[in-house]
Amino acid sequence: MSIIEKAAKKLGGTTGQGATPQPARTEDAPRKEESLIEAALARQKELSRHQAQSAAMPDVGTMSEVRTAPESRMEPVPQAEEPAESTSQYQSINLARMHRMGMITPDAEKSQIAEEFRIIKRPLIANAFGQGATRVKNGNRIMVTSSLPGEGKSFCAINLALSMAMEMDRTVLLVDADVARPRVPEYLGIHSDLGLLDVLRDKKLRLSDVMIRTDIAKLTILPAGRTYKRATELLASSAMTDLVEDIGSRYHDRIIIFDSPPLLATSESSVLATHMGQIVMVVEAEKTSEEAVREALSHIQTCEVVSMLLNKATPSPGADYYYGYYGSYGK
């Protein structure tokens, strides 16, 4: 039996009842925090000015090696549209570090991992932008989640975002929605302060104030923002619904990837799931139990299209893949 068949057999169907989202409730940011936010904004603007200047120079830190190698030079790709939410923040992604971590980088399009994610992204893109009945409602909003911590959600979400951003006609917004333990900045080697939670809490703050453009022209990051103990309620608020509607519908070619917390550890992902058109459920091979997967799936029944991604699979001898299998439920 192949690993694909084993995984399909192991994962089977879904059972159980969906989780009930927390009641929507928002809260105005306390006054004493306003000055903190302004200070943070000023800091971010200063940082992005500095980063933009640095990026214009040929040799900067570890980036120079990647950028100056002829075969690995990244051509700037023009944005498909001039974004109305155009942000002043710009940061360079540490591609050399990402490469060392085994992740996709634009200069290594033929790598094994790039090939794997090329296969993984195809059905997701078809669901998001397909014609007629194949098109999934809100299919361009894709949450990457898993049952348990450490299964590879952030790794897969970032690789998916990078792979999609390398498409000619797609723009990608990567949202770090793991608001309790945000890891996207660390993986990309960027700095972040304000983000999603701050925008939800402070009506004066615009998305464009906190989004980060990167040197991968089609990839923009929305960081998680500062931690907040009532984050789940914020994610369930009408402000979040409005925000997701806004970012989901503003550009016809944009995909939004949400990196999220594990379903069985917090209630945030099941709340987020209510906003999604598609969910990618990462399952760690040979580790996550069928019971855990089934229970996790029961928390995201509000989303009709859930795809399974078996991660960290060990290749069987002679197999031409190492990443695992990809299948889909729903529809």
Binding site for ligand ATP (CB under 6 A): 101-102, 146, 149-155, 178, 181, 183, 262, 311-312
CB of 324 to ligand ATP, least distance (A): 8
CB of 190 to ligand ATP, least distance (A): 16
Query: Going along the chain, which residue ranges are E strands?
Result: 90-91, 141-146, 171-176, 212-214, 219-222, 254-259, 278-284, 305-311, 326-330
| Residue at 315: amino acid letter | P
> Which residue number, 11 or 47, has a Cβ lying nearer to ligand ATP?
11
183 sits near Mg ion (criterion: CB under 5 A): yes
The site partner of 151 among Mg ion, ligand ATP, none (C-beta below 5 to 8 Å per kind) is: ligand ATP
269 sits near Mg ion (criterion: CB under 5 A): no
Residue carrying the six token digits 């996790």: 296
CB of 320 to ligand ATP, least distance (A): 16
SS3 assignment, position 272: helix
Judged by CB under 5 A, the residue of 99, 153, 213, 299 near Mg ion is: 153
Query: Which residues does 38 contact at the CB level (< 8 Å), separation at least 6?
Result: none
> Which residue number, 144 or 210, has a Cβ lying nearer to ligand ATP?
144
CB of 223 to Mg ion, least distance (A): 13
87 sits near Mg ion (criterion: CB under 5 A): no
CB of 156 to ligand ATP, least distance (A): 7
Read off the DSSP letter of residue 275. T
> Which residue number, 89 or 154, has a Cβ lying nearer to Mg ion?
154
How many whole angstroms from its chain centre is CA 317? 32
Cβ(163)–Cβ(280) under 8 Å? Answer: no
The site partner of 230 among ligand ATP, Mg ion, none (C-beta below 5 to 8 Å per kind) is: none
> Which residue number, 77 or 264, has a Cβ lying nearer to ligand ATP?
264
The site partner of 135 among Mg ion, ligand ATP, none (C-beta below 5 to 8 Å per kind) is: none
Residue carrying the six token digits 């995201």: 300
CB of 161 to Mg ion, least distance (A): 13
> Which residue number, 136 or 175, has a Cβ lying nearer to ligand ATP?
175
The site partner of 312 among Mg ion, ligand ATP, none (C-beta below 5 to 8 Å per kind) is: ligand ATP
CA pair distance 189, 88, nearest whole angstrom: 19
> Which residue number, 155 or 228, has a Cβ lying nearer to Mg ion?
155
Query: Which residues does 238 contact at the CB level (< 8 Å), separation at least 6?
Result: 24, 26
262 sits near Mg ion (criterion: CB under 5 A): no
Encode burial over 53-83: b for 16+ CB neighbours within 10 A, e otherwise: eebeeeeeeebeebbeeeebebeebeebeeb
154 sits near Mg ion (criterion: CB under 5 A): yes
> Which residue number, 127 or 266, has a Cβ lying nearer to Mg ion?
266
| Residue at 306: amino acid letter | V
Instruction: Reduce the secondary structure of 204-232 to three states and give it as a string.
Output: CCCHHHHCEEECCCCEEEECCCCCCCCHH
CB of 152 to ligand ATP, least distance (A): 3
CB of 101 to ligand ATP, least distance (A): 6
> Which residue number, 102 or 130, has a Cβ lying nearer to ligand ATP?
102
Long-range pairs for 205-210: beta carbons < 8 A, 24 or more residues apart = 205/37, 205/41, 206/85, 207/85, 207/87, 207/243, 207/246, 207/247, 208/85, 208/86, 208/87, 208/88, 209/41, 209/44, 209/87, 210/44, 210/87, 210/89
How many whole angstroms from its chain centre is CA 323? 19
Question: Which positions touch Mg ion (CB under 5 A)?
Answer: 153-154, 183
